[in-house]
Amino acid sequence: MGEAQWFDVDHYLSEVLVGADPALEAALAASDAADLPAISVTPNQGKLLKILASSVSARAILEIGTLGGYSTIWLARALPPDGHLITLEASAKHAEVARSNLANAGLAERVEIRIGRALETLPRLAAEGKGPFDLIFVDADKQSNPEYFQWALTLSHPGSLIIIDNIVRGGAVTDAKSHDPDIIGIRRLNELMGREPRVCATAMQTVGSKGYDGFAIALVVAP
């Protein structure tokens, strides 16, 4: 029992429930070839994102943290033909890889990638009157999670889902004395969600091919 088994089970579930997917596999291969870090969501997590987006009949999706566009492809596939997804990415190089991966997946028209630090691009989105978004996926720098959560609330409506990746970090999240800005950001986020009356929020620990981590999910219940 242990990590090797988590990997085996994740691969097994992914084989049985997700199956081969040329566009997604090509996106990972291209991301790897461009030396992007291998930190995309797993296939099973990606499919969960798609299911959640479909469950709220998402027509407008916001993602913070694009990387090579792997999670973006999963989310964008839940959109109807006239739906759209905006994804925010600080690295021009990552955005370029994502652009190519999204085009290869046939999703270029539904997805807009905005390059820049999200704390700068989010206020611009709001000023342009973008949103409300039906689903917001937060998966960028973890120290800014509290601010991303507040922006997600601003850019959502009752019924929207806000999903935040990487909220366990191998268990480090329970360390109240941590000086790691990521852990501090994740803990502040969890506290914010816990006391925010506009959302109904929970979080799940996960194990699998990305090790031990977790995700939080908040349903916006009031304006």
Contact 40, 70 (CB under 8 A): yes
Using alpha carbons, list the distances in angstroms from residue 185 to 165, 168, 179, 211. Answer: 12, 12, 10, 20
Of 182 and 221, CB closest to ligand DHB: 182
Length of the chain: 223
Question: Which option in Mg ion, ligand SAH, ligand DHB, none does residue 88 bind, with CB closer than 5 to 8 A by kind?
Answer: ligand SAH
What is the 3-class SS of 138-172, one letter each residue? ECCCHHHHHHHHHHHHHCCCCCCEEEEECCCHHHH
Of 60 and 67, CB closest to Mg ion: 67
Distance of closest approach, residue 139 Cβ to ligand DHB, in angstroms: 5
* Cα 70 from chain centre: 10
Using alpha carbons, list the distances in angstroms from residue 209 to 9, 38, 39, 43. Answer: 9, 11, 10, 10
Using CA atoms, how far apart are residues 222 and 51, in angstroms rounded to an integer? 23
39 binds ligand DHB (CB under 6 A): yes
Binding-site member from 166, 190, 206, 209 for ligand DHB (CB under 6 A):
166
- Binding-site ranges for Mg ion (CB under 5 A): 139, 165-166
42 binds ligand SAH (CB under 6 A): no
Which amino acid makes up residue 83?
G
Binding-site member from 140, 153, 164, 220 for ligand SAH (CB under 6 A):
140
Distance of closest approach, residue 212 Cβ to ligand DHB, in angstroms: 11
Of 71 and 156, CB closest to ligand SAH: 71
Of 137 and 151, CB closest to Mg ion: 137
- Site residues for ligand SAH per CB under 6 A: 39-41, 65-67, 70-71, 88-91, 94, 117-118, 139-141
